[in-house]
Structure 1
Amino acid sequence: MQPADFGKVAVLMGGWSAERAVSLKSGAAVLAGLQGAGVDAHGIDVGRDICEVLKDGRFARAFVILHGRGGEDGVIQGVLETLELPYTGTGVLGSALAMDKARSKRLWSGMGLPTPEYILIKDEDDLDTAGALGFPLMVKPVHEGSSIGISRVEDAAALQRGWVMARQFDSEVLAERWVEGKEYTVTILDGQALPVIRLETPHEIYDYAAKYEVDSTGYFIPSGLSEAAEKGLQELALRAFRAVNGAGWGRVDIMVDEQDQPWLMEANTVPGMTDHSLVPMAAKAAGMDFSELVWRILSSTLEAGQ
């Protein structure tokens, strides 16, 4: 395969979600990686005129690196399907499912996959029901990523405050049973699970700052798990990703409690690709540099039926 086989590539970044700033950083890294590999790639800061921009630009395919709503939830994927433009990653249905934390958890639970108990808080009347799960709880917007709007709450008063904060970002808010234990993440590329990463942060939770702004977060590859335990997490991540119809590449976040029970937290279909991001770390541990990683992701757009 030669760089010219891809034709003119649109690297779609930015957009209008709460994760815009991270997407621009991810997009710049992807653009540099593709151009470094000789691909005719062009960065596009996505706006509401994206249909006209893509048609006028005569692009052959798109690398989607839009995080959050409008880019990771099936919206841009629907646009690209309508334009008959091949694109990277998960399709419309899988993107919408994975972005919706409540419905992806409902699907996993129905399949017998482990995920913490939760309550969907639609209005103030649901707060007592959520509190009945027992404290502490994790409160998070249903349709946001990058840990935006999340909080750990210890009592009913904090639950009320956490719900008020989270609903600034989303009309639907999730209250989820807190899992005390270790945090892991599994990158998926072309149907295979890459080496597991264990995360440690001095912050109370792995929040936006821990992900993107500070250097105090610890990333451990190897993860410290036994070979059997690591394989078990990889297999669970693959099952969870396939369940939401994930494709191409992505990441699944998992907590392992003090009894060594794994719990699925969420699936990401357009993970970060910044210098603090987990997918490039996992790829490096698997022997891939960044240009090879983005080349492989883009290569999926050449497959029959895409």
Structure 2
Amino acid sequence: MPQHIDTRYETAIARRDRWAASAAKHRAAQAKRTAAGKTALAKISQEAAEKAEAHAKANAREADRLAPMAQRAQALRQQNDLVAEARLARAIELAAVTPRPKALSPKDERRQAKEQEKRDRLAQQGQAQRKRDERAAGVEHDPRTAAGQREIQIRGPAVDKRASLADYANLIHRQTDRTPPRLLALERFDTLWHRAHCGLMATPRYERGVDTSRKIAGVPDDRAESLRLIDGVKAGIGVEMFAILFHRVINGHSFSWMASQGMGESERLGVLFLAAIDATARHFGLRERSRAVEVMEQGLQIAS
């Protein structure tokens, strides 16, 4: 297991000092034995001293090599400690000014619990009614199928339910948001898309056709122009907005399906869908220019 740089540095220092002390001890023994005329023992002490001095020098070199790295590590730790202290102080300041939720009284808690139970009950009733309407219209809703991933509207009396794909108005949930410019923008976008992609699915033939042309067939002019216009819409409103319109208008997917694919929460997708419709309406000249763009351009004119 690799050791911390400080541990390696401290170990090298400790070994250097330990071997240096051992060498000094053997040198003292060598001098004492030499003075006593014990040549053989003095020779043994000399060899032990030389060995200890070699180990002390090797550990000293290792300590010198590790010293700069240990100093950098210490400086980085000090810097990290300062940053951590600053962040902790900032967190304490934010915690002091952040409003804390008020503790609810038992009465308020019971009231909120009853309201949540009511919302859950209404949601379950709505889902049950939706399933009854689907059965009455002969719709087998399976979210694993392509049809189950699309927005389906069920209309008619109880004895004669009919199911159909959502029209432009029903793609927008709130009735107050179904303004004429938005509905017209949806219709133009849908029409332009199908004009741009018409003919991609060839009509099945039972006999081989005869090609008498002398050049490669080109894209029809109407489809080529529609492709150019649809690319202009994508560039004008942005790729993400264009993708939301594609999933919602062209494929008829519901917000719940889009959320299940990781595109975001249903509420956020609903807001982005309306923003995409408004951007498309402005692109087609059905609405006034965005106020945000006007303010930006005014600021740029003043700055220039």
For Structure 1 versus Structure 2, the TM-score category normalised by the shorter chain is under 0.3
TM-score by length of 1: 0.23
Larger radius of gyration: 2
Structure 1 or 2: more strand by fraction: 1
Structure 1 or 2: more helix by fraction: 2
Larger RCO (CA within 8 A; separation ≥ 6): 1
